[in-house]
Structure 1
Amino acid sequence: MNTGIAARLDRIGRDGRFVIVPMDHGITLGAVRGLKNIESTIDAVTRGGADAVLTQKGIAPRVHPNKNDAGYIVHLNASTTIGPDANDKRMTGTVEEAIRAGADAVSFHINVGSNYEPKQITELSEVTSKADKFGMPVLAMSYARGPDVDEHDAENLGHAVRLAEEVGADVVKTAYSGDSDSFEHVVESTRLPVVIAGGAPEGDEATLDAVRGAMDAGAAGVSIGRSVFQHDNPKAIARAVSGVVHDDLSAEDALAEVGLLANA
């Protein structure tokens, strides 16, 4: 790992652990709750303890004045839920554009097992090669998704995270397998730091239980979007997630500490 990548990883995490709040959903879902006034949401989650936020390049001017010295990641591909196939992620930016937007890292989504996997492998490999030249870390969002693919199967997820390492990513995000024991296989499948996705919101307790289970399995943190930025109190839930990731709290203790236990 070159010096630039190591230095920038420290900007999007702490001591090798990561609490990232992705808010690139404006392309995927539109201006949903939490994203219309994205400035206040970014301010809230970063004051709550998020180490970094993630958006598409065009949102950068709305990010920097409100991120409270947190890290910034620019996402480089996307699709929409109203398009013909949400698995068909297309390029929306370049490493150079992310640098000009003031990013500390870039991210790229790949659906392993989908009809678009071959093209996405090639594109991710190209992104990691270019990013390495600039000392820019790459977060690979590597999911097991496609026809007849179980998105939460530990073997599939282990394959997805290993693919990310094989093509040169620095951090890998994937789905949670549902329990700590099976997720150990996922973490052991790569030497990269593994962070878990949040998926559709299922409530505070379910969110924090998943975070705790992943951390117990050896994960390096989270990249949770809707369960944080659409929360009634995004600052509090971000602080609770940070408590589990950085302070090794139990899910119950983390929620209690921020006053959310009664709403779990």
Structure 2
Amino acid sequence: MTTSIERIVELLGSDADNLLGYESKTISKERLSLPGPDFVERVFMNSDRSPRVLRSLQALYDGGRLGGTGYLSILPVDQGIEHSAGASFAPNPDYFDPAAIVELAIEGGCNAVASTFGVLGMVARRYAHRIPFVVKLNHNELLSYPNTYDQIMFGTVEQAHEMGAVAVGATIYFGSPESNRQIVDVARAFARAHELGMATILWCYTRNNAFKTGGNDYHTAADLTGQANHLGVTLHADIIKQKMPETNGGFQAVTHEDGSKFGRTHEKVYSELSSEHPIDLTRYQVANCYMGRAGLINSGGASGDNDLADAVRTAVINKRAGGTGLILGRKAFQRPRNEGIALLNAVQDVYLCDDVTIA
């Protein structure tokens, strides 16, 4: 199945030529493990993943409208905990109901639905055989006062396995004071998930107030998020979820109180391995996912005034950089269902379009 390029060009507007015609001069596409119908066999067959994990990964890649392409479209709805149910579902109260969440993923042609123990557990017998479940293991709860920012486990890997989940997901706030404990928690959970035959997806977020400096926010810098990705694949994440990079130079800008540099980097990261172009910034994220051996799915971001165009733009950048897809939630569920389905399909159409190629 192929999709026409005309609608994509229309949605990109003035960005169309810059994004669709760009040729990357940084890390060549020939050096990457690119998505394709044989991705699981071509890449993971050489790994230590068991046959049951390979089967689970293949189930993810075979689901929905993108099934058999090597690309992923995942609906993530854990915002009821992460951002509060009221803030997340008030725009469309239907999604207080877990069944509505799963049905949106199915009708929207997604490869999988990612959500909480509560949401997926409540409707597991009805839907677990119809669409792959990704159970999010940990969350940042938002009810403690004053608010704290930490990822804590809400259940066990065994619970996720018993409800029929194909994969588990987790978040680490790399750079935060709690990150060392989170790394240990997630490493143990992912090892257990692989023992039970499930795939693993890691939300590799950076979080530290020091990453905002000089009037700039480096939480989405390509160099910092790239290193977060590299730590994530080291923890045996099969798929990495990361925010789209918006800048670079985090390691250069962030300093300790005594003025010394934070972390370590190399000038070639900025002069040869990336540029200011969003495709090159995202390709650096892909490179840190073991040159694409672990698939990079970028997040769709918060809902706004131009959700459809923004989502398509993100998908084009991800695909042309060598990424594996999008994990898009609020843009889809904070609107009437038919509009949410149309938005999910528009993103999937980018990956189904043969004219949108690797840069």
**Where on the TM-score scale, by shorter chain, does this alignment land: which range?**
0.7 to 0.9
Q: Where in structure 2 are the equivalents of 1:114-133 lying within 5 Å?
A: 114-133=176-195
Structure 1 residue 2 corresponds to structure 2 residue 50:
yes
**Is residue 52–residue 70 contact of structure 1 (8 Å, CA) maintained in 2?**
yes
Identity fraction in percent: 24
What is the aligned partner in structure 2 of residue 193 from structure 1? 295
Q: Which of residues 351, 356, 359 is equivalent to 1:245?
A: 351
Superposition deviation, residue 64 in structure 1: 5.1
Structure 1 residue 105 corresponds to structure 2 residue 171:
no
Quickly say closer, same or farther: Cα 1:51–1:17, change in 2 above 3 A: same
Per-residue CA deviations over 1:106-134 (Å, capped at 9, x if unaligned) read 00100111121111111111112111211
What amino acid maps onto 1:214 in structure 2? Answer: N
Task: Work out the CA distance in 2 between the residues paired with 1:249 and 1:70.
Answer: 29
TM-score of the superposed pair, with normalisation by structure 2: 0.65
Q: Where in structure 2 are the equivalents of 1:36-51 lying within 5 Å?
A: 36-51=96-111
What is the aligned partner in structure 1 of residue 123 from structure 2? 62
Determine helix, strand or coil for the equivalent of 1:148: helix
Superposition deviation, residue 67 in structure 1: 7.0
Quickly say closer, same or farther: Cα 1:145–1:245, change in 2 above 3 A: farther
Superposition deviation, residue 249 in structure 1: 6.6
Structure 1 residue 181 corresponds to structure 2 residue 280:
yes
Quickly say closer, same or farther: Cα 1:138–1:85, change in 2 above 3 A: farther
What amino acid maps onto 1:51 in structure 2? Answer: N
What is the aligned partner in structure 2 of residue 80 from structure 1? 141
The structure that has the greater radius of gyration is 2
Superposition deviation, residue 247 in structure 1: 3.9
Quickly say closer, same or farther: Cα 1:3–1:67, change in 2 above 3 A: closer
Task: Work out the CA distance in 2 between the residues paired with 1:227 and 1:93.
Answer: 27
Task: Work out the CA distance in 1 between the residues paired with 2:345 and 2:128.
Answer: 15
What amino acid maps onto 2:299 in structure 1? Answer: A
Per-residue CA deviations over 1:131-167 (Å, capped at 9, x if unaligned) read 1211211101111222222121000111011101111
Q: Which of residues 48, 60, 63 is equivalent to 1:12?
A: 60
Determine helix, strand or coil for the equivalent of 2:96: coil
Q: Which of residues 62, 79, 87 is equivalent to 1:25?
A: 79
**Is residue 57–residue 101 contact of structure 1 (8 Å, CA) maintained in 2?**
no
What amino acid maps onto 2:332 in structure 1? Answer: V
What is the aligned partner in structure 2 of residue 52 from structure 1? 112
Task: Work out the CA distance in 2 between the residues paired with 1:241 and 1:190.
Answer: 22
**Is residue 106–residue 136 contact of structure 1 (8 Å, CA) maintained in 2?**
yes
Superposition deviation, residue 62 in structure 1: 2.5
Superposition deviation, residue 35 in structure 1: 2.2
**Is residue 42–residue 67 contact of structure 1 (8 Å, CA) maintained in 2?**
no
Give unmatched runs, 5+ long, in structure 1. 251-264
Give unmatched runs, 5+ long, in structure 2. 1-48, 62-66, 212-217, 247-277
**Is residue 124–residue 164 contact of structure 2 (8 Å, CA) maintained in 1?**
no
Determine helix, strand or coil for the equivalent of 2:123: helix
Quickly say closer, same or farther: Cα 1:36–1:186, change in 2 above 3 A: same
What amino acid maps onto 1:216 in structure 2? Answer: R
Task: Work out the CA distance in 2 between the residues paired with 1:247 and 1:67.
Answer: 29
Q: Which of residues 190, 203, 228 is equivalent to 1:160?
A: 228
Q: Where in structure 2 are the equivalents of 1:204-215 lying within 5 Å?
A: 204-215=308-319
Superposition deviation, residue 9 in structure 1: 1.2
Superposition deviation, residue 42 in structure 1: 2.3
**Is residue 18–residue 51 contact of structure 1 (8 Å, CA) maintained in 2?**
yes
TM-score of the superposed pair, with normalisation by structure 1: 0.88
Superposition deviation, residue 61 in structure 1: 2.6
Superposition deviation, residue 240 in structure 1: 1.3
Determine helix, strand or coil for the equivalent of 1:176: coil
Alignment RMSD (CA, Å) = 1.9
What is the aligned partner in structure 1 of residue 237 from structure 2? 169
What amino acid maps onto 1:238 in structure 2? Answer: L
Per-residue CA deviations over 1:161-210 (Å, capped at 9, x if unaligned) read 11011111111101101421211111011231110112211321011101
**Is residue 113–residue 147 contact of structure 1 (8 Å, CA) maintained in 2?**
no
Determine helix, strand or coil for the equivalent of 1:169: coil
Task: Work out the CA distance in 2 between the residues paired with 1:227 and 1:64.
Answer: 27
What amino acid maps onto 2:296 in structure 1? Answer: V
